[in-house]
Amino acid sequence: MKILVALSGGVDSSMSAKYLQDMGYNIVGCYMKLHTKPGYHEENIRKVKKVGDFLGIETHILNLEDKFKKEVFMPFVNAYKTGLTPNPCAICNKMIKFGALWEFAKSLGCDKIATGHYARIENGLIKSAVDKSKDQSYFLANIDPQILPNIIFPLGDKLKSDIKAAAAKIPQISELASQKESSEICFVETTYIDVLKEYFDTNLPGVVRDVSGKAIGKHNGYMHYTIGKRRGFSISGAHEPHYVLGIDAAKNEIIVGLKNELENYEFKTSNFNNFTDKDSFECFVKIRYRSEKLPCLVSKFESGLKVNLKQNNASGVASGQLAVFYDEFDRVLASGFIK
């Protein structure tokens, strides 16, 4: 079997390639150039080629900058411009890593693709990784269900600490074990505001209102805020912390309130990415990457989903973020972007 491994120059993807080669698979490596951040690619490509030389495999450089800008980067910018809180990694996984890369893999005659994501596939469903602290099933829940049979996640049953320890014992790639991990959005060097200011004015002082519509303070520009944020704006006469409840991009206003006003017992999604054949089910939902799973009832509604929480209300449900639905075995049943 021929497998294309997405290589980033990091320890996870590099060790994924090694594990698959050790299992006897025919491995091909590929590095994706997704953006034009100065100095970003040169060092990564050096590491990828070093890994390729060590494993004795062919490595490709795939330039996807135009596709990435059109399908991931500009939607990210436009989402903030319209007052949403985007999730570019979830979109990138669908359109780029498990979209364009899979098409490239097929052109090379590959049977499957593999990445260094911490996740598993069980009974045709994405499942949380053994290493819960590194689990990336949330970000993978937006990919096309049809591609799952063509994906391998070699690290899904392993611990990150073991991966780094194993890499440290291999002289040719030991440098990867100690390098700093990338945890932020790959094209954001400092803050997302620095990215946005290249495309529209981010210095837009505006009015802060309470839920009744009364003007109670000032803010720096609506794009600086996400639902649930409690800093960066001023309000007069407040004795308790206030949180962002809503964003009105057209008026450049934010609506704030007390913490209990952040809670929602139901919400809707704009789409329904279904990994099962069911239109309604009981499950657990995550409304952002690091949030807890909450029990809920999900039903198809128009082109998306209606979500009713069964016990605890969700705090800080943000339009534009991905809601991911799991069964009791930590398997992804569906996902949808919050309206």
Report the binding-site residues for ATP: 6-13, 32, 116
User: Residue ranges for the binding site?
Assistant: 6-13, 32, 116
Cβ-contact 203, 51 below 8 angstroms: no
Amino acid, single-letter form, for residue 78: N
Cβ-contact 223, 202 below 8 angstroms: yes
Return the closest-CA partner of residue 50 out of 88, 102, 13.
Answer: 13
Relative orientation angle of helices 11-22 and 160-168, to the nearest 10 degrees: 80
Give the list of residues 6+ apart from residue 332 with CB closer than 8 angstroms, or none. Answer: 125, 126, 127, 137, 140, 141, 275, 324, 325, 326
Would you call 186 a catalytic residue per the annotation?
yes
Length of the chain: 339
DSSP letter string, 291-306: SPPEEEEEEEETTEEE
Write down the H helix ranges in 56-203. 65-68, 74-81, 88-92, 101-107, 137-140, 160-168, 175-178, 192-196
How many CB atoms lie under 10 A from the CB of residue 248? 14
With the C-alpha atoms ordered 290, 294, 300, 305, is the resulting torsion angle positive or negative?
Answer: negative
Cβ-contact 176, 47 below 8 angstroms: yes
With the C-alpha atoms ordered 160, 165, 167, 173, is the resulting torsion angle positive or negative?
Answer: positive
Considering the candidates 30, 89, 92, 283, report the single residue annotated as catalytic: 92
Write down the H helix ranges in 108-205. 137-140, 160-168, 175-178, 192-196
Would you call 283 a catalytic residue per the annotation?
no
How far, rounded to the nearest angstrom, does the alpha carbon of residue 177 sit from its chain's CA centroid? Answer: 23
Considering the candidates 30, 89, 110, 186, report the single residue annotated as catalytic: 186
Catalytic residues: 92, 186
